[in-house]
């Protein structure tokens, strides 16, 4: 028999296993590596039967040619798709909203940096302004201790554009699912500083969909068409960047000049197949990662100097039984490049899976 993957069933091979993304149901499942060769060679196996059961492959008539999804398929109608913006309640967001409308940016995350006593009034005014603006989706980041005071404002009925609430400085990390009155709430126990890597990656927050997948083939799924605006109005590619591209409130500020700078183009187009370790991960096309990569000294690839919660070389998450760090698994990620001690790695894998 001649089998073929459905066009919306995408096998993404990692170092140790393959994740099959189902872009129609927005779900995924795992199989062994090498399934593309199995399908091409029509080798009957348990894996083939699993793929048929999961409706990932079908028996293809000989004359039918199936085209894979192209990296050219991703498109977005905005120059800037979303913005992270620091606010402190000392002024209105009218000017900010007007500036964002110039680049068709309709998705924002507000990071509140002001005093607790000003938060309620600021939110009340901002919700009213957003209601009369083109903004379609909002997230808000605030201190957990202030949440109860403003909870009546953060409802689906009163603030329908609100999609997520992030609470920092909480007693523990937790995830409160949405209900009829309010959206999802994510609590984390670190403070509100960006360098604490506050949104540690978790399999529970991964998203599988067509738009994200096609974007990640060609662009960085976190930084692409994203900007960060601090309290002073300085614009950068993200909160962890120390290079400013311009100031929103300065006379002569021009979006076209800012968005054509080389620095922003490089980070926007830095997809995970260019990044060491990430390119070996089966989750790479569903992972939205705020870490800013650094370039290896040979200039061929990039790397992160902070380690992810997931080790794709042993397919284990931090906290799972048998988890080991990259270095404990024989993987070194340095400025000069990535190296693998297969003797150590094979020993670790033998202990885990043999």
* Domain spans of the chain, in order of start: 3-67, 73-187+219-268, 272-353
Q: What are 207's two structure tokens?
A: 């998203």
Q: Which residues of the chain have pLDDT under 50?
A: 197-199
Residue 46 CA to residue 95 CA, distance in Å, equals 60
- Predicted confidence at residue 186, as pLDDT, reads 87
Ramachandran angles phi, psi of 20, nearest 5°: -100, 115
Among candidates 83, 80, 118, which has minimal Cα distance to 234?
A: 83
CB neighbours (10 Å) of residue 35? 22
- Predicted confidence at residue 198, as pLDDT, reads 44
Q: Are strands 316-317 and 310-311 parallel, antiparallel or unpaired?
A: antiparallel
- Predicted confidence at residue 161, as pLDDT, reads 95
pTM attached to this predicted model: 0.83
- Predicted confidence at residue 241, as pLDDT, reads 85
Helix (H), strand (E) counts: the chain:
9, 20
Cβ atoms of 289 and 275 closer than 8 Å: no
- Predicted confidence at residue 40, as pLDDT, reads 65
Name the superfamily (CATH) of residues 73-187+219-268.
Aldolase class I (3.20.20.70)
Cβ atoms of 111 and 84 closer than 8 Å: yes
- Predicted confidence at residue 195, as pLDDT, reads 59
């Amino acid at each position: 028999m001649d089998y073929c993957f459905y066009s919306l069933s995408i096998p993404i091979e990692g170092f140790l296993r393959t994740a099959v993304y189902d872009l129609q149901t927005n779900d995924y499942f795992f199989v062994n590596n090498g399934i593309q060769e199995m399908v091409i060679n029509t080798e009957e196996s348990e894996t083939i039967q699993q793929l048929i059961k999961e409706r990932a492959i079908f028996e293809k008539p000989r004359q039918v040619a199936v085209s894979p999804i192209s990296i050219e398929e991703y498109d977005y109608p905005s120059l800037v798709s979303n913005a992270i913006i620091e606010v402190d309640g000392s002024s209105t967001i009218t000017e900010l909203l007007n500036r964002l409308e110039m680049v068709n940016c309709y998705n924002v995350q507000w990071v509140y940096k002001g005093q607790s006593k000003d938060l309620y009034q600021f939110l009340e005014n901002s919700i009213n302004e957003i209601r009369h603006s083109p903004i379609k989706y909002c997230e808000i980041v605030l201190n957990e201790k202030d949440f109860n005071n403003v909870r009546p404002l953060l409802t689906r009925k009163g603030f329908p554009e609100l999609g997520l609430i992030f609470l920092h400085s909480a007693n523990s990390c937790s995830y409160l699912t949405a209900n009829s009155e309010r959206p999802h709430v994510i609590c984390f126990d670190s403070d509100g500083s960006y360098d604490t890597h506050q949104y540690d990656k978790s399999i529970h927050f991964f998203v599988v969909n067509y738009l994200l997948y096609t974007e990640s083939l060609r662009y960085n799924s976190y930084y692409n068409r994203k900007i960060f605006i601090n309290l002073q109005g300085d614009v950068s590619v993200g909160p962890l960047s120390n290079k400013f591209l311009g100031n929103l409130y300065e006379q002569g500020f021009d979006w076209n000049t800012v968005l054509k700078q080389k620095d922003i183009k490089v980070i926007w187009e830095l997809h995970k197949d260019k990044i060491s370790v990430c390119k070996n991960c089966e989750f790479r096309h569903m992972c939205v990662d705020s870490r800013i990569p650094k370039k290896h000294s040979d200039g061929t690839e990039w790397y992160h100097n902070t380690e992810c919660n997931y080790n794709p070389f042993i397919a284990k998450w931090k906290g799972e039984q048998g988890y080991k760090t990259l270095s404990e698994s024989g993987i070194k990620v340095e400025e000069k490049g990535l190296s693998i001690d297969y003797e150590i790695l094979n020993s670790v894998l033998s202990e885990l899976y043999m």
